[in-house]
Amino acid sequence: MTAPTLTSGVAIPRSASGRRTGLVLATLLTCQLMLVLDITVMNVALPRIQHDLHFSSTGLSWVMNVYTLAFGGLLLLGGRLGDLFGRRTMLIAGISLFTVASLAGGFAESAAWLLISRAAQGVGGAMAGPSVLALITTTFTEQKARLRALALFSGMSSAGFSIGLILGGVLTESLSWRWSMFINVPFGIAVVILASRLLPPAGPRKSVHLDVPGAITATSGIATLVYGFISAAERGWDAGVTLGSLSVGAVLLAAFVAVESRTAEPLLPLRLFADRNRAAAYAAMALGPMAGMSTFFFLTQYLQQVRGMNALSTGFAFLPLGLCVFAMTRLIPRVLPRFGPKYVASLGFGLMSVGLALLVWLDVDTGYFPLIFAAMSVLGLGLGMAISPLSVVIMGSVPAADAGSAGGSLQTMQQVGSALGLAVMVTVFDSATRHAAGAPRHVLVTGMTEAFGLGACIAALACAVAFTFRR
């Protein structure tokens, strides 16, 4: 007779417990995919959105930026609120807000309406995102199960960018850009229902004190810093708004560190960075997206503006990247225990650097096969190998009470790294195109290949950081 397993105080058969755990993981991964998809799903739909809602050329970028700003700025606060008030509660509340905002955005009749909806999506994502990672860490306590769950989480996070481009292209071409928002609604409802039934409620809460000064300085500091990077990409690094935002953001974050070092119950426990491996993993977690932004941003433009692909074809061009990431999620649980995060992550970032270096060879007549296909495949393998070990290093040994803060910090590093990477890449692109001569398409490709070269160098730096891990 099969021995029963206790889950939430109820004895159930082990096979039923396994099915329940699988549903929990599927629910959490679906939630994460929703949040990541919305970073890129509307990229290929921007021209249609501009036409329908009469966006200005400068205002159109805020369809993407306002989500990044709200999501990145509130992640630390969302993670700590989950630690203090219950991760299931924060996940359900966050996804509920995200779903309602998606429905409202799909019916948008003006630019302001859509931007407010995108901001609300970002707030909901920041509430739910850190709790997803924390719940994975605290639910899957057995080593192999946790490793597999974190590998799937990292794969979903990395491949979600390319899936977003594919899905956005399919929906825009076959239905309307509005379905890039509507598609979240059925999945959001399903996540809320399943999370309410499957995730255990939080235990009795002790008396807690929310670090209000830390919340204010962290949220405003990160949001201001991200805004500064966005401004740098749009206006240049020497613009007054850019310099002012970066300066204010740096001062606020310095004040945040000072507050946290003196607070009994900090928003971000600084002990998370005391571990050498975890501190290095956080740095690499910022460098990886920083390098990868050149792929998604400039390669999308290359395929559409230089090669003349439509939204659907552009989305499917990223399919090899997503498939290779998912393939690595099956392999990582086998190779990581054997070789350790140091060698697996280093090899992953090395492959990323090679993939980006291949794109330096692009010219105006380059076909999709073999160069772009090969670069996409190598990048996908590299992303799949690099990110999963970082998640394991950061979350694998973190105390349960700090899991939300650790997850929020991880995702904050990704968002800040992405914003900084895009700002730096755009700067390099602008500088190269100003000094390049020739036909417009040749000038564009010159700037893009310069950005890809910088991305390859940043990925190589991440490889060096990962090589400092202690086994």
Per-position DSSP letters for 82-94, written without gaps between them: HHHH-HHHHHHHH
pLDDT value, residue 205: 58
Q: Say if strands 10-13 and 4-7 run parallel, antiparallel, or are unpaired.
A: antiparallel
Q: Three-state SS for 267?
A: coil
pLDDT value, residue 1: 37
CATH 1.20.1250.20 fits 17-200+267-466, yes or no: yes
**Rounded Cα distance, 102 and 85, in Å:** 25
pLDDT value, residue 10: 35
pLDDT value, residue 203: 59
Spatial contact of 78 and 129, defined as CB atoms under 8 Å apart? yes
The distance from CA 134 to its chain's CA centroid, rounded to whole angstroms, is 16
How far CA 148 is from CA of 15, 242, 283, 335, in Å, comes to 18, 42, 23, 11
pLDDT value, residue 20: 83
pLDDT value, residue 346: 97
| Buried/exposed 137-167: b ≥16 CB within 10 Å, e otherwise | bbbbeeeebbbbbbbbbbbbbbbbbbbbbbb
**Rounded Cα distance, 30 and 313, in Å:** 25
**Rounded Cα distance, 192 and 65, in Å:** 26
DSSP state of 361: T
Least Cα distance to 167 among 63, 49, 41, 32 occurs for 41
- For the chain, residues with pLDDT lower than 50 are 1-15
364: its two tokens: 């105006």
pLDDT value, residue 208: 62
Angle of CA points 71, 68, 56, to nearest 5° = 140
pLDDT value, residue 17: 62
What's the start-to-end Cα distance of the chain, in Å? 41
What is the rounded radius of gyration, in angstroms, for the C-alpha atoms of the chain? 22
Handedness of CA 305, 308, 310, 311 (dihedral sign): negative
- Hey, where are the domains in the chain? 17-200+267-466, 211-266
pLDDT value, residue 204: 55
pLDDT value, residue 58: 67
